[in-house]
Chain A
Amino acid sequence: MSLFGLFDIGKSALFASQTALSVTSHNIANANTPGFNRQEAILEITSPVAVKGGYLGRGVTIAGIKRYYDRFIQSQLLGQYQNYGRSYALNQALSQVEQIFNEAGDTGLSASLTDYFNAWHDVATNPEGQPQRIVLIEKANTLVFTAKRMEQGILENLSQTNENMDDIVDRVNSIASDIAALNGKITQIEAGLKSEKANDLRDQRDNLLNELSNLVEFTSYEDKNNGSLTVMVGMRNLVYGEKTNTLSIKVNEDGKNDLYLDGINITGNITKGQLGGIIAVRDDIETNTLGRLRRLIASLTKEINILHSAGYGLDGTTGNNFFNPLQLSTRDFSPGADITATIADISQLTLDEYNITFDAASNYYVYNKQTGALVTSGAYVSGNPITFDGIQVVITGAITSTDRFSISPLTDAIDNFGVAITDPQKVAAASSDADLPGDNSNALNIAQLPDNAITDLGSLTFMDYYRGIVSGIGSMSNAASNSLKFDDNLLSEIENRRESISGVSLDEEAANLIRFQRSFEAGARMIKVTDELLQTILNL
């Protein structure tokens, strides 16, 4: 081995140190970059040469740049991000709806409701009095306003949730195309190599996956041959290789957003991530909160109107509704036939919703949507009235076995809710026109209505039923905020573990900086020494 060989060893030391310094600097530079995995230059002994008497080392070489990365922790992290995303969306929506039902203050529906019935007490004590009647109508208007404001609040929350869905779907699609692009680059770089080399690109892709898992539930797997990642949402491909399918939103017949991927409705398959949370919470809010609030108001309208229209006003009139009468809303899922539904007997109304379906033999079937029970059935004749549970339905036109109608006394219950009485004289405090003006017995009946168990409300009083709604939303919100805290803690735990393995320690990097600086200096010195040795020889 010649003296020049020493140059080579020195040079290899310089290069190795320089590379290691570069890696350290890269680490330091990315100390705060999310998703960055710390890297390390792997030093390796250069293969020695055989000399007389043995083998002589030829210096150091860089075997590769290693990424500190734990696949297991990463997959745990993805799973937990999905849980967290769901809890986050639930908490977000429920904590807002909860504020609408905030009975902790004194401004909720229960205050309006008790004020309204108190006003009836005062009318009962002074059935002749004009002021008490005016106050009653005022209180009724406040009650109407409160109920409408609450429904408005819930509907706004639901439409916000729908808009959120749009934004999230946009972001999911943009992430998907980014991942597809990265797939392309990674396969290009790693082509033919045995191990993963595209460290930074993989970090970027992992980081995108983290964000994606917060948004939507997915599964992913990597092609071992080329490093390309396939992402599946709701069992359909979102990203495969460099291609993507677009996640899209379609509004279904109930007015709700459904998720479509690759032409398939995948809404039911998504339970996690923010999208999963949104899908769960909007149904919950709609059936458990909005539906029950509407039922409460519908029941109130029904019971008050039945009692009120039986009574007599100071002007001797009877049969007056206190609130606007309940109206049935129908939905028509039939191209050929039309439906009209009217309330035939308000006292028989159950406040349940109904579906009408048909079979191939032109028979109709009326199902109670709440109980699922078959209410009535028979042969369909266009224009013949079908009567059940106080409702009269007339369907005209040609029907097919796929046609469907639905009838609801609840949908418009709050929308139509309003005080029908404007003339205080018409407030029916009396039970008979012979006993005017001192008869207060009808006012007494109405004032005692809140003590009665209402059949349509599962034999609860108005207030108990309302308390049920509040406790429902309170419990849901409480559970959501608890699970958000839990998921947040768990997430932070897993992030810590990832950080422990993959994170950059500035102290460590500072030490490495010194270490490789020193080894660079030593390598340089080695070249200088070699140079001096050569000088010595040249000066001979």
Chain B
Amino acid sequence: MRITSFMIFNQLTRSLQRNLEEMSGLYNQVSSGKKINKPSDNVIGLMRAMDYKLSINDNAQYKRNIGEAEAHQDFTEKIMSSVSDALIRAKELALQGVTGTESAESRAAAAEEVTQIRDHLLNMANSKFRDRYIFSGFKTNIQSFNAATFDYQGSSGIINTIVDKGASMPINIPGDEAFSYFFSSVVHSSADPGNTGGADVTAKSISDRTALTFHKYEINFTAPTTYDVVDVDTGATIISGATYTSGSHILFDGLDIVISDVFSAPQAGDIFRISVNPLKPSTLNYSSDADITANISNHFDLTKDVYEVSFDGAGNYSVQNVNTGAVVATGVYVSGGTITFDGLDVIITGTVTSSDKFFVSSTELIQLDEDGKYAHYYPGTGTTINADIRDAYDTTFLDSFSFSNFIQMTDILSSALESNNISRIRALLEPLNNALDQVTNVQAGIGARLNRLDDQTNRLDDSTLNLKTVLSNTEDADLTEVFSEISKTEVALEALRRSVAEVLSQSLLDFLK
């Protein structure tokens, strides 16, 4: 090939240019510390880097959220343990108060202390964290409990925070949850025997115990896809003309009911009955020989009332509703025979005498003392608990009280101590125990949340560390490599410059003198 000076010159300048370009790219990597300096440097790499950066940012945000949630839980945890201490002290004072050796004066002194416990509980329940009332649900600007009536004033709102992609966690406990308890109850349901459709209740649960009314409900299908929900106790239609789809949740008054097409769709006129009741009825036995067991035969016929089973000398039994005075069943007593009334099946075995008595209720009955006093606890709306104290032998109504939360409960305890009302103090022992259980549950819940937050923090830290490593591998320049590359290029550039000097200075003209 014929070579001209222009070709040589061109070749050399191009090589120089290429080397300088490479050099500039390498210097760019050194100055930025990155091997990807613009999208076209490495499209795939940049896409990955963007993805990693996004995840690292997300993790950082989740960790910030978790930090906030943790601070919240720690604070709540401290309050609940203080609440627990206060309730333990209240229980000690109540136990002292029921001892016969105590005097009215010493009970009055205890009343003073319980009043202080009540105020302490109120203060705790109205705690503020970062200027928010933490037990007020969503109403964080309103005192959680009324200072005069001790009624809950917040909402049942659960404040969530996002702790991971698609995962959120509650950070608060509404005050009516934290400072009250309720009887362990279940949701009962039954399909009307006359239903012509093939649908049934496939799931039922309590979604918000603070909203429960303990009423009975009927879900009436007016058409295969339309239903009403009627509160049987008040006669009010709570939900009217709602559209039914199989498997959808029907929510009302703190209940979550799912009806599905088990065999086929429901038909117009189909009825489903819902009620909330205790698992088992409770009984009191005032007999020397006989035993009693009671079961629920029909949840929808249950009342919250107490029933007294008594016997005459002729071997007949009689069941009387203590609350209404109505006699609901009579008959000849047969040991082991079933007596059915108001949704209950009662079976009494053994020998009975005319002085024997039994008390049965679908709600809770507790014997208070040997004199025959007993307490009947039954739920009101939401977290309200009612208590009646009666005498078993003359079935007279002695006393009643009700409370919705621990503050109100200690308030009643304080006044009972003050007024030397021993049977009321005694009747409060059971609620005090339940309250302590509830506080322990809340504490366990917070502990579980803290554990989960802790695990999540660790997971996020691990993930961030991994992501940072892969991000660095993807976009960071390996400086050792870059510098060795730079020296290599420098050597090549040097050699090139020398040869340019050599080649370009040579010409035949130089030799023709």
Contact = CB atoms under 8 A, between A and B. Distances in A.
A500 B43 contact: no
Given A471-B47, A504-B4, A444 B39 contact: no
Given A110-B50, A128-B132, A471 B39 contact: yes
A121 B65 contact: yes
Contacts of A507: 5, 507-508
A445 to B, nearest CB: 10
Interface in B265-312: none
B370 to A, nearest CB: 51
Interface stretch (B92-100, B134-142, B375-383, B423-431): B134-142
B243 interface: no
A467 B52 CA distance: 12
B138 A439 contact: yes
B160 interface: yes
Interface in B26-71: 34, 36-41, 43-44, 46-47, 49-51, 53-54, 57-58, 61, 64-65, 68
Identify which of B2, B38, B68, B139 gathers the most chain A CB atoms within 10 Å of its CB. Answer: B38
Interface residues of B, number: 56
Contact of A104 (B34, B130, B131): B34
Given A430-B138, A435-B138, A436-B138, A510 B43 contact: no
A104 B38 contact: yes
A478 interface: yes
Contact of B10 (A121, A473, A495): A495
Interface in B64-94: 64-65, 68
Interface in A84-122: 94-95, 98-99, 101-104, 110, 114, 118, 121-122
Interface in B339-376: none
A496 B7 contact: yes
Contact of A125 (B5, B37, B141, B161): B161
Contacts of B61: 118, 121
A475 interface: yes
B263 interface: no
Given A437-B140, A507-B5, A478 B40 contact: yes
Contact of A475 (B38, B43, B155): B43
B388 interface: no
B320 to A, nearest CB: 46
B501 interface: no
Interface in B110-162: 130-132, 136-141, 155, 157, 159-162
A440 B160 contact: yes
Interface in A348-362: none
A31 interface: yes
Contacts, number: 167
Given A118-B61, A435-B157, A438-B137, A510 B39 contact: no
Interface in A55-102: 94-95, 98-99, 101-102
B14 to A, nearest CB: 6
A121 B64 contact: yes
Nearest to B160: A444
A511 B509 CA distance: 9
A201 B53 CA distance: 62
A434 interface: yes
Contact of B132 (A438, A444, A478): A438
Give the residue among B34, B43, B131 with the most A Cβ atoms within 10 A.
Answer: B43
Contact of B41 (A31, A104, A467): A104
Name A's interface SS: helix
A264 interface: no
Contact of B509 (A104, A444, A510): A510
A463 B51 CA distance: 9
A477 B37 CA distance: 13
A506 B507 contact: yes
A524 to B, nearest CB: 20
B168 interface: yes
A514 to B, nearest CB: 7
A20 B44 CA distance: 62
Contact of B39 (A31, A121, A473, A492): A473
B324 to A, nearest CB: 39
Contact of B139 (A95, A435, A478): A435
- Interface size, A (range): 35 or more
A124 interface: yes
Given A438-B139, A470-B46, A503 B155 contact: no
Nearest to B35: A104
Interface string B441-484: 00000000000000000000000000000000001000000000
B498 interface: no
A501 B1 CA distance: 9
A31 to B, nearest CB: 7
Given A438-B136, A473-B39, A500 B47 contact: no
Contacts of B3: 500, 505
Given A104-B475, A477-B40, A505-B5, A467 B512 contact: no
Contacts of B507: 506-507, 510
Contacts of B49: 103-104
A467 B51 contact: yes
A470 B139 contact: no
B38 A503 contact: no
Contacts of A467: 47, 50-51
Given A434-B155, A447-B162, A451-B166, A101 B39 contact: yes
A257 B131 CA distance: 62
Contact of A474 (B6, B40, B139, B157): B40
Contacts of B7: 496, 499-500, 503
Interface string A458-494: 0000010001001101110110010000000000100
Contact of A506 (B41, B165, B509): B509
Query: Which of B11, B54, B64, B475 counts the most A-chain CB atoms under 10 A from its CB?
Result: B54
B6 A32 contact: yes
A480 B321 CA distance: 93
A500 B132 contact: no
A118 B57 contact: yes
A467 B47 CA distance: 6
A166 to B, nearest CB: 28
Contacts of A99: 38
B2 A500 contact: yes
Contacts of A434: 155
A448 interface: yes
Contacts of A441: 160
Contacts of A444: 160-162, 168
Nearest to A314: B141
Nearest to B475: A104
A470 B40 contact: no
B40 A124 contact: no
B64 A503 contact: no
22 contacts: A95-B40, A98-B38, A102-B39, A104-B39, A104-B49, A121-B65, A127-B140, A430-B138, A435-B139, A438-B136, A438-B138, A438-B155, A438-B157, A441-B160, A463-B54, A473-B39, A477-B38, A481-B40, A500-B1, A500-B4, A503-B7, A504-B5
| A-B pairs with lowest CB-CB distance, top 4 | A474-B39, A438-B140, A435-B138, A503-B4
Given A467-B50, A496-B10, 19 more contacts: A98-B38, A104-B38, A127-B159, A430-B138, A435-B139, A437-B139, A438-B159, A444-B161, A447-B162, A471-B39, A474-B40, A474-B43, A477-B40, A492-B14, A495-B10, A499-B4, A506-B4, A506-B507, A510-B509
